[in-house]
Chain A
Amino acid sequence: MEFFGPVLDGFNVVLDPTNLLYCLLGVVVGMLIGVLPGLGPAATIAILLPMTYGVEPVTAIIMLAGIFYGAQYGGTITSVLLRLPGEASSVVTVFDGYVMAKQGRAGTALGIAAIGSFFGATISIIGLTFLAPLVASFALDFGPPEYTALAMLGILLVATISGGTKIKAIIAAAVGLFLATIGRDGFTGAERFTFGNLSLADGIDFVPIAMGLFGVGEILYNLEERHRAATAPMKVSNVWPKGKDIKEASGAIGRGSVLGFFLGILPGGGATIASLASYAMEKKTAKDPSRFGKGAIEGVAGPESANNAAATSSFIPLLTLGIPANATMAIIFGALLIQGITPGPQLISNDPQLFWGVVNSMYIGNILLLIMSIPLIGVFVRILRIRAAILAPITALITMLGAYTIRNSMFDVLLVVIFGAIGYLMKKFGFEPGPLVLAFVLGSLLESNLRRSLLVLEGDPTGFFTRPISATLLVLFVFVAVWPMIKSVIDKRRSGSLAALATQEKEKENA
């Protein structure tokens, strides 16, 4: 029963009026940006970081979390009504959701997506409630070597699983780690890479980097990318799905939730992979797979449950180990650092109000989403009519003025613009900004843990392998790093032997 004490306290935290208000704000903003093409949850959270300065840490994280899982809901709306995925994780929903809309079942699709999302998130939160304290207590025994190995593995996983070439993602991560070294070295006091510039002496602040790379970078990119002209949205009627539909979809919802929960925990995994995997799983387990692509309700229910479950469970590595699982979590990590809180295994025991406050806010947030998603659909469809040309300068101004309010410094605004250009160029040349930000937030912690480890191990790097946990993590690290090369060799061998077989067959025929 002692276990439930802090959990229930967490509900007290959430039901505080300010926190409730920020939760509501977060999920509405999240749904909104999920609906609008152009900005994703990472960019929006980055742009709204200045808002977190004036409020309590719990309140800030509750709002940012709300934006994240709210965006998963919003992306579904455009997938179903406009055949345009609002988020990467809603791409799969287009296949069957839009067809359902054309069959006059748009309301059913949206309703089932909302129910599935709610269910997925709830399962995920329950899993989180039980799993997180376990992981955290296990990790409390981590010393500097374990944490070093874990941080390295986390960065590598995010770099290799993200889109684009692995090599470029690793380069981006290296750049992020490098940017973290700029400024005064904590151990020796030496100034690194500041070139005498006073503003850089304390290092580059996290917020301008995040706002620039994700916010302004995205905005500049959208100026160039002409979004596909939206067709008139499908009509939505009878938004509540029939009992028969719910029954048909229930299996998919259950499977999707569990699948999403596990895929979200893994760094580099997340909502997009979860939705794809769920769609594939539903197609495989269906009695009549040919229904998929023609309006199969499982094709909407499964992926939607999976992506919300994954979005929620991706908080676990962050809140229990202090390792962000993806770019958005990295930004939330940064937001916590701004508030003076270092996420890690000790978070649950040192600050249970924060931890359980955030976790329980997800219950409330998902209930709010379920209640509001259906009535708000009409509003969002109307908002979609606001042309991108008008929204773009609004978001640019929010970013610029918001950046100024961090420290009343024009230098920060300049940094934001410069990193915006860098973010845009990175996108054009195929470098992912996610690994850079992730590596940046983990950079100073990784370095200090590495140096502490070397001090503890008296300069002997093989000492990492004498400790069981860090040894396992490092072996995993090496495995993940060399796997692509092994795979390509295996593939070449296989195609080589296939070619040899094919030529043998041909010779037999000719003979």
Chain B
Amino acid sequence: MDAKKAEIKQEKVPADLDVMPNADEEETLTPEELAAQWEAEAPDPAGPIANLLSSLVVLALSVTGMVISLGLGLGTPAAPAAGMWPFIITLIAAVMSVVQIIVGRTGGKDGEKFSSMSWYAVIGFATLILMVVLMPLIGFEIPSLLLCFVWMRWLGGERWRSATIYSILIVGAFYAIFIAALGTTIPRLF
């Protein structure tokens, strides 16, 4: 049973839902067993290095903030200046990040490890940035088509043909709704 479950987890999203394993074959698990199963399937926690790195980044940013706030002037409690409130907040953030470095040095259960699947998120982010860059130049249609296609074909595992067809349909629908129906002024080519 466990091997089958592991198999299901590693399969790519299949093309046809009808070929799915039958639900009746799964045993009835008690809530505790079910919760344990979910926890086993959940991603690994981020770990101590990630904790240290993220806390250090926060520490660096908050100390920078504290310095800039001091530059803005703190004033007195009776007459607070522009820098007082940001100084208080960045101080709290700096102190908390130091605490987090200490408390989280052995790891902990929060966060998630980066895995090879994390590249999908990076690619997704890259396509979004590309869209921001290209949209003012050539309109939204072509970057959207590219985004849809990349997301469906490579990030989603769809076949060439269905990815192409769906991409065209989706961009067409967006054109119909945003441009034709709602009359918004999104940069466009056609």
The residues in B between 6 and 20 inclusive whose CB is less than 8 angstroms from any CB of A are 8-9, 11-14, 17-18, 20
Complex contacts, A174 vs chain B, CB 8 Å: 62, 89-90, 92-93, 96
Partner of A187, one of B21, B82, B115, B118: B82
Q: What distance in Å separates the Cβ of A391 from its nearest Cβ neighbour in chain B?
A: 9
B142 at interface by CB-CB < 8 Å? no
Complex contacts, B136 vs chain A, CB 8 Å: 410
A460–B13 contact, CB under 8 A? Answer: no
Closest 5 CB pairs of A and B: A389-B156, A459-B78, A430-B110, A430-B111, A190-B82
Scan B71-95; emit 1 where CB is below 8 A from any A CB, else 0: 0100011111111011001101100
Partner of B17, one of A95, A99, A165, A385: A385
B28–A294 contact, CB under 8 A? Answer: yes
Scan B87-115; emit 1 where CB is below 8 A from any A CB, else 0: 00110110011011001100010111011
B158–A390 contact, CB under 8 A? Answer: yes
A469 at interface by CB-CB < 8 Å? no
A387 and B151 CA atoms in complex are apart in Å by 12
Partner of B50, one of A185, A408, A421, A429: A429
Which residues on A are within 8 Å of B, measured CB to CB? Answer: 82-83, 94-95, 99, 102, 164-165, 167-168, 170-171, 174-175, 177-178, 181, 185, 187-188, 190, 192-193, 216, 219-221, 223-234, 292-294, 385, 387-390, 392-394, 396-397, 400-401, 404-405, 408, 410, 413-414, 417, 420-421, 424, 427-431, 447, 450-451, 454-455, 458-461
Q: What distance in Å separates the Cβ of A264 from its nearest Cβ neighbour in chain B?
A: 23
Complex contacts, A408 vs chain B, CB 8 Å: 185
A sample of 14 inter-chain contacts (CB < 8 A) reads A165-B104, A168-B100, A171-B97, A188-B82, A226-B9, A231-B20, A232-B17, A232-B23, A393-B170, A397-B170, A421-B125, A428-B50, A451-B85, A455-B79
A455 and B31 CA atoms in complex are apart in Å by 56
Partner of A389, one of B62, B85, B86, B158: B158
A449 and B188 CA atoms in complex are apart in Å by 45
Main SS of the interface on chain B?
A: helix
A389–B22 contact, CB under 8 A? Answer: no
Complex contacts, B108 vs chain A, CB 8 Å: 165, 430
Given A229-B20, A424-B121, residue A175 in contact with residue B148 (CB < 8 A): no
Q: What distance in Å separates the Cβ of B134 from its nearest Cβ neighbour in chain A?
A: 11
Partner of A451, one of B22, B23, B80, B185: B80
Q: Which residue of A lies closest to B100 (CB)?
A: A167
Partner of B76, one of A164, A410, A459: A459
B46 at interface by CB-CB < 8 Å? yes
A181–B85 contact, CB under 8 A? Answer: yes
Partner of B148, one of A94, A397, A410: A397
Q: Which residue of A lies closest to B148 (CB)?
A: A393
Q: Which residue of A lies closest to B119 (CB)?
A: A224
A229–B96 contact, CB under 8 A? Answer: no
B155 at interface by CB-CB < 8 Å? yes
Complex contacts, B152 vs chain A, CB 8 Å: 389-390, 393
Q: Which residue of A lies closest to B158 (CB)?
A: A389
Complex contacts, B46 vs chain A, CB 8 Å: 428-430
Q: What distance in Å separates the Cβ of B103 from its nearest Cβ neighbour in chain A?
A: 6
A99–B78 contact, CB under 8 A? Answer: no
Q: Which residue of B lies closest to A164 (CB)?
A: B110
Given A224-B117, A231-B20, residue A389 in contact with residue B13 (CB < 8 A): yes
Q: What distance in Å separates the Cβ of A107 from its nearest Cβ neighbour in chain B?
A: 16
Q: Which residue of B lies closest to A439 (CB)?
A: B89
Partner of A224, one of B90, B118, B147: B118
